[in-house]
Amino acid sequence: MTMTIAFIGLGNMGGPMAGNLIKAGHSVNGFDLSEAARAAAAERGVSPFEDMAAAVTGADAVITMLPNGGLVKKVWAQIAETVAPGTIMIDSSTIDVDSAIAAHAMMAEKGCLTLDAPVSGGTGGAEAGTLTFMVGGSDDAIAKGREVLEPMAGRVVPCGGAGAGQAAKICNNMLLGISMIGAAEAFALGEKLGLEHQALFDVISTSSGQCWSVNTNCPVPGPVPTSPANNGYKPGFAAALMLKDLRLAQEAALSRGAQIPLGAEAAQMFGLFESLGHGGEDFSGIINFLRGADK
Ligand code: NAD
């Protein structure tokens, strides 16, 4: 079914995601505070709006793709009186679980269907329409939201009720941050022990230490030619975004009383890495920090 979809937040992720909705035949009303983002989205066929309320008026679905939970709650509150009951509201930003739950409650009160649907797959996945959406919300909202998400998705994974998508996202990314530090430590130790990168890779990638951080995003150049290590640690997945997700995991652990000592250590290390000016590098560049090289 062809829909009118309002898309708020047309940045590095939102712009190409909105473009894939256009390619699927939907009509997309786009809003962003940045004129440059609106203009870039217009090149993809999005109808740019300078007024957010006008963009959401009459929309069948609203998607937000914004930097943080405070902004998501603010934007959803600003449009709460304008969206019609029955509208499907989807937030695909990566935000804290408690803000996501509050956003669901706010719009459920207005008779909307609501989803938290953060993504993994980065800007490449956003462009290609192959993002994985981790989705939290009611069964009805998931059924209706799936139709909206599919043109942007490789996979849509239902995770549970309100906030469950954000919860799954931060648990996964915390594990990823920890596993990358583990992979980097293994290769840095191997170097000191005189092991060739390829030899260590051949063992780990087929043994019990295998993981995405080694098999796909290997932190040393050579064994996996497509990993960012072969390209000056150009992201990929920027260390600053990893740090954001690790901090969200810490916030969630504090609010729910979970013990995440390795997650906390990973946040500290990526925090230091960023403060040394490496936030724009792929997160696998943490191996240079471990080696003590400030590059
Ligand atoms: P971005 O900074 O490129 O885009 C955010 C956009 O939101 C900007 O264009 C900004 O102008 C706009 N914006 C800010 N406040 C606004 C408001 N009040 N109203 C309307 N527009 C507003 O960020 P991004 O890389 O597109 O990331 C968006 C979200 O996706 C973040 O939550 C991020 O953590 C998550 N994410 C990013 C990636 C990635 O690889 N970039 C991967 C997965 C998830």
- CATH code (residue 144): 3.40.50.720
Tell me the CA–centroid distance for residue 66 and ligand 1, in Å.
Answer: 4
Two structure tokens written together for 44: 């993809």
Supply the pLDDT for residue 114.
Answer: 98
For ligand 1, mutation pick of 7, 20, 33 (most atoms within 8 Å of CB): 33
Indicate whether 295 pLDDT > 60.
Answer: no
d(CA 52, CA 93) in angstroms, rounded, equals: 18
Residue type, 5: I
Residue 295 lies in a domain: no
Return the closest-CA partner of residue 28 out of 285, 14, 79: 14
Nearest to 217 by CA among 208, 226, 205: 226
Residues 152 and 183 in one domain: no
Count structural domains, the chain.
2
Give per-residue pLDDT as tens, 128-149.
999 999 999 999 999 999 999 9
Cα(159) to centroid(ligand 1), Å: 23
Q: Average pLDDT of the chain?
A: 97
The rounded distance, in Å, linking the Cα atoms of 225 and 206 is 17
In a shared domain, residues 206 and 232 = yes
For residues 26 and 98, membership in a common domain is answered with: yes
- C-alpha 168 – ligand 1 centre gap (Å): 19
Token readout for 242 is 């990893």
Residues 105 and 194 in one domain: no
Both tokens of residue 146? 């799936």
According to the model, what pLDDT value does residue 292 have?
85
- Residues 75 and 143 placed together within one structural domain of the fold: yes
Q: What is the ipTM of this complex?
A: 0.99
CATH number at residue 198: 1.10.1040.10
All residues at 6 or more sequence positions from 232 whose CB lies less than 8 Å from its CB, including other chains:
none
Cβ pair 18, 46 in contact under 8 A: yes
**Res 180: pLDDT:** 98
Domain end among 161, 193, 210: 161
Q: Model confidence at 1, in pLDDT bands (50, 70, 90)?
A: confident
Among 7, 65, 131, 282, the mutation site with the greatest number of ligand 1 atoms within 8 A of its Cβ is: 65
Q: For 98-122, how does the pLDDT look when each residue is reduced to its tens digit (9 = 90+)? A: 999 999 999 999 999 999 999 999 8
Flag whether pLDDT at 293 surpasses 90: no
Nearest residue by C-alpha to atom 5 in ligand 1: 11
Rg (CA), the chain: 20
Same domain (yes/no): 187, 246: yes
Q: For the chain, what is the largest distance between any 2 Cα atoms, rounded to a whole number of angstroms?
A: 65
Shared-domain flag, residues 108 and 179: no
CA distance 287 to 229: 10
Looking at the domain assignment, is residue 44 inside a domain? yes
Q: Report the catalytic residues.
A: 169
Rounded average pLDDT over 241-250:
98
Across residues 234-260, what is the average pLDDT?
97
Domain hosting residue 74, numbered range: 4-161
List alpha helices for the chain, DSSP H: 14-23, 35-43, 52-56, 69-79, 97-108, 122-128, 139-149, 164-192, 197-204, 212-215, 239-256, 261-273, 286-290
Tell me the per-residue pLDDT of 181-214, one tens digit each, with 9 for 90 and over: 999 999 999 999 999 999 999 999 999 999 999 9
- Indicate the SS3 state at residue 69: helix
Determine the average pLDDT of the residues in 235-244. 96
Q: How far apart are the first and last CA of the chain?
A: 51
Q: Are 34 and 66 in contact (CB under 8 A)?
A: no
Regarding whether 276 and 187 lie in a shared domain, the answer is yes
| Residues within 6 Å of ligand 1 by CB | 8-14, 31-34, 37, 65-67, 71, 75, 93-94, 119, 122-123, 241, 244
Same domain, 133 and 16: yes
